Amino acid sequence: MSPDCLMRNIDITEGRNKTRAIDTVLNELSQRFGERLKTGMAIREQHGRDESFHKGHPPDCVVAVHSTDEVQQIVRLCALHKIPLIPWGQGTSLEGQVAALHGGVCVDLSEMNAVLCVNADDLDVVVQPGVTRRQLNEYLRDTGLFFPIDPGADASIGGMASTRASGTNAVRYGTMRDSVLNLTAVLANGEIIKTAHRARKSSAGYDLTRLFVGAEGTLGIITELTVRLYGRPQAQSSAQCTFDSIRDAVDTVIETIQYGIPLASIELMDSLTVKAINAYSKLSLPEKPMLIMEFHGTDAGVQEQAQMVQEIASGHNGSEFSWTSDAAEQKKLWRARHDAAYAIKALRTDGQLWATDACVPISRMAECIEQTLDDIDQSKIIAPVLGHVGDGNFHLCMLVDHAVPEEVASAQALHERMIQRAIDMDGTCTGEHGIGYGKRDFLKQELGGAVDVMRSIKQALDPDNIMNPGKIV
């Protein structure tokens, strides 16, 4: 028998064993979960795909769970038969984190969506992972508190923790890394752990909370979390300002941050993004590089902050600075910013959105974006750039037609050059979207040997590689 045939036979045998194992698991799950187990193709495909450009992979089944104990039962069953488990919240990830690359069981946590306990005086809340960020803020409306982390999508808190999400407010309130105080997770061996108490800082052992936040479900399935809340600011205002160049806008941001002006958000849009949101949200903003900012504080405080920023911006050729404390006007502006992805999609009807991100030290940001914009011009891809400029994090939103291989190749090359540029500038291949399976090669490129350490941790916690296999490491 030739080596090829031998390999194929082994594959076939393994495949048969796997088939038997998944059948056994499906059978058991069906008995335990009845109609909460779904195996229809449409629902499997929907649960194997996120909002990214990356190809979806359907799991073998989807199980809607209602408790940590149920998750534990499923994990134990899958561990016994070495079947992969993929946690699912809202499916809004952006690097293929939910794709069932090796089949397996999708653990749908979206029905575990109870707000368990608001501790108003401690400024925290205990939630189940399926609670979405809008649902949580709606729940908190009468408490005077809010949960500030705002990725564009109405993501689940569990998913946001798993991908270490952030958003426009990160410059003031941090990211999920700072927000999660503790979490409960089911590990690959079925063990349930709680990483810390609700104490702000627990001096008991390693900071395991941080290890699970951003692990993309590869170390365990998060089934409960305590997250930090903030008092609603007494006053809120917004400002916008246009610039002749990206560099002027970025220099304004650098100086603003250096003065310690506590901005809640500071967002940069290139002229193409402004054009897109003008068309989509029916605005008439000047189509030039633009900063939009949000200030939180007291009435006097937000006014003082805005005046200081205006003064700084004018030193960097900023023009058409406008400031408002009118709630409706602010809502309109920020809604337009949050809808930017849809606005960008609408720039091209025959293309799909490939949104990617990178993060660089802020002093290199202008240079990195300018070089990327030049590169976009050369590549002929339509690709607006926008970003959370206060953190050095920016997004490249490429509009690409899947059906045209040359276009996909050109976008891929543009993407690779942008990531390489960011890494060369001491930055990272992702500041916000995560690794999933879309950026695994870039992770190696960026971290080298450190990926081996990550792999050894994955191996130590999940020796059979059943927890969301094929992601991160």
Partner 1 sequence: MGSLRTLNWSDFKIMNDKQYSALVERVNSAYRSGQALNICGASSKTFYGGLPDGIALPVGENRGVIDYDPAELVIVARAGTSLSEIQTLLAAQGQMLGFEPPFIDQGATLGGAVASGLAGACRPYRGGVRDYLLGVKIINGKGQIAQFGGRVMKNVAGFDLFRPMAGAMGTLGVLLEISLRVIPVQEQQQSFEFNTSNQKNAINTLCALAKQLPSLSAGGWLEGKLQLRLSGSQLAVSRDTNLLAQSNSLSEIDALRWQTVSQFEHPFFTQPDIDKARPQNSICSIDLAPATPPVDLPGEQLIDWGGARRYLKTELDIKAVRQSIEKLGGSVSLLKGGERSAFFHPLNPGMMSLHQRLKKSFDPKGIFNPGRLYPGL
- Restricting to residues 284-323, name those near partner 1 by CB under 8 A: 297-298, 300-301, 304, 308, 311-312, 315
What is the rounded CA–CA span in Å between residue 89 and residue 222?
10
Q: Which amino acid is at 121?
A: D
Pick the binder of partner 1 from 150, 224, 294, 432 (CB under 8 A): 432
- Closest to 107 measured CA to CA, from 180, 162, 153: 162
5 binds partner 1 (CB under 8 A): no
As a whole number of angstroms, the longest Cα–Cα distance in the chain is 83
What is the rounded CA–CA span in Å between residue 208 and residue 206?
6
164 binds partner 1 (CB under 8 A): yes
Stretch in the footprint of partner 1 (CB under 8 A) among 18-26, 63-71, 336-344, 389-397: 389-397
Stretch in the footprint of partner 1 (CB under 8 A) among 17-25, 63-71, 279-287, 385-393: 385-393
What is the rounded CA–CA span in Å between residue 59 and residue 72?
19
Per the rule left: phi > 0, alpha: psi between -120 and 50, beta: everything else, 392 is left
Minimum CB distance to partner 1 smaller for 21 or for 447:
447
Least CB distance to partner 1 at residue 31 (A): 28
What is the rounded CA–CA span in Å between residue 436 and residue 442?
11
Pick the binder of partner 1 from 17, 19, 363, 412 (CB under 8 A): 363
Whether 309 contacts 253, CB under 8 Å:
no
Element (H, E) at 337: helix 327-338
Minimum CB distance to partner 1 smaller for 147 or for 280:
147
251 binds partner 1 (CB under 8 A): yes
| Subset of residues 110 to 139 that bind partner 1, contact rule: CB under 8 A | 119, 121-124
66 binds partner 1 (CB under 8 A): no
Give 373's contacts (C-beta < 8 A, 6+ positions apart): 246, 270, 385
- Closest to 230 measured CA to CA, from 124, 114, 116, 117: 124
| Subset of residues 322 to 351 that bind partner 1, contact rule: CB under 8 A | none
User: To which residue do tokens 């989807």 refer?
Assistant: 62
Minimum CB distance to partner 1 smaller for 13 or for 363:
363
What is the rounded CA–CA span in Å between residue 347 and residue 340?
11
206 binds partner 1 (CB under 8 A): yes
Pick the binder of partner 1 from 16, 20, 198, 402 (CB under 8 A): 198
Stretch in the footprint of partner 1 (CB under 8 A) among 3-11, 23-31, 52-60, 190-198: 190-198
456 binds partner 1 (CB under 8 A): yes
457 binds partner 1 (CB under 8 A): yes
| Subset of residues 25 to 44 that bind partner 1, contact rule: CB under 8 A | none
